[in-house]
Amino acid sequence: MEYEVYRHNSAGDEDFDRINQFYKQVLQEDKDLCNGAQKNLNNGIFINGQLHPEKEKDTVRELVMNHRSREEKDNDGKEIWPASPQPTQTMKTCKLLEEERFCAGLATGAGGQGPSELSQLAW
């Protein structure tokens, strides 16, 4: 296992050692969990399956459905990307709108692009 730890200039030795030890413990626990899950997969004890209907699946579904609902109501059906800065009115040029439509078409496989054009983009 390999990782990097960065230390703030003002961090004291005791504080750094405490956080570093905790970080090492969490990484080791994660590694042990992954190794155990892989061992169980290899032995046929554990199989992949559906998410828990209440604790996992419904939570994720609810978040996704609420997000899409906000996109449809508040954003004229366009995707909301919270981490991306929104262009100001002066940045919304015809060229930008054309590029957004083109990229959206690529993402969905639509936008007037036929199979031959899309196959050129395949890796």
Range of the domain at 65: 52-86
- Residue with more model confidence, 111 or 40: 40
Looking at the fold, whether 82 and 65 belong to one and the same domain comes out as yes
Which tokens hold the place of 101?
Answer: 């439509």
pTM > 0.75:
no
Residues in the chain: 123
How do residues 57-66 score in pLDDT, each as one tens digit?
Answer: 677 788 889 9
Supply the pLDDT for residue 121: 57
- State how far the Cα of 36 lies from the Cα of 78, in Å rounded to an integer: 42
Q: What angle do CA 106, 108, 109 make, to 5 degrees?
A: 60
Which one-letter DSSP state was computed for residue 51?
P
**Strand (E) or helix (H) holding 52:** none
Instruction: Say yes or no to pLDDT of 112 above 70.
Output: no
- Residue with more model confidence, 122 or 45: 45
The rounded radius of gyration (Å) of the Cα atoms in the chain is 23
Looking at the fold, whether 56 and 37 belong to one and the same domain comes out as no
- State how far the Cα of 79 lies from the Cα of 71, in Å rounded to an integer: 6
Looking at the fold, whether 110 and 122 belong to one and the same domain comes out as yes
Looking at the fold, whether 81 and 92 belong to one and the same domain comes out as no
Looking at the fold, whether 21 and 62 belong to one and the same domain comes out as no
Q: Are 111 and 101 in contact (CB under 8 A)?
A: yes
Looking at the fold, whether 44 and 59 belong to one and the same domain comes out as no
Looking at the fold, whether 45 and 3 belong to one and the same domain comes out as yes
Q: pLDDT confidence of 25, banded at 50, 70, 90?
A: very high
Looking at the fold, whether 105 and 123 belong to one and the same domain comes out as yes
How do residues 91-110 score in pLDDT, each as one tens digit?
Answer: 778 888 888 888 878 866 65
Q: What percent of the chain has pLDDT over 90?
A: 26
